Amino acid sequence: MAEEGGNSKPQITYEYDLDAKWDACLDLSLRRIVYSSLAGALGSLVFFRRPASRWASVALGAGIGIGSAYTECSYLLNNTSPKWADVKASSPKEEE
């Protein structure tokens, strides 16, 4: 017999749902760019007097935001984790 729901779509897990990943990436990118630009603008108001220096500070903040968003989105879209250095604590007894 036919199901009573009729229009039931198969559920896609988050691992394979590109729409959710792109939405999360876009949200993350916009937030990081805006927040780092605002931090650059605030820092420029405090530390610099010339307009060129202030714009450079805002541009630096935006660049930092873009770079961090790009890195985080690449991890999100490729389902990988950051490759941190594998540091193992060793004692003198283990070396012998």
User: Higher-confidence residue: 74 or 9?
Assistant: 74
Residues in the chain: 96
Residues contacting residue 38 through CB under 8 Å, at least 6 positions apart: 61
pLDDT tier at 95, thresholds 50, 70, 90: low
- When pLDDT is averaged across residues 33-57 and rounded to a whole number, the result is 93
Confidence at residue 76, expressed as pLDDT on a 0 to 100 scale: 85
Cα–Cα distance measured from residue 67 to residue 90, given in angstroms and rounded to the nearest whole number = 35
pTM of the predicted protein model: 0.66
- When pLDDT is averaged across residues 66-91 and rounded to a whole number, the result is 78
DSSP 8-state code for residue 40? H
* Average pLDDT of the residues of the chain: 81
SS3 state at 13? coil
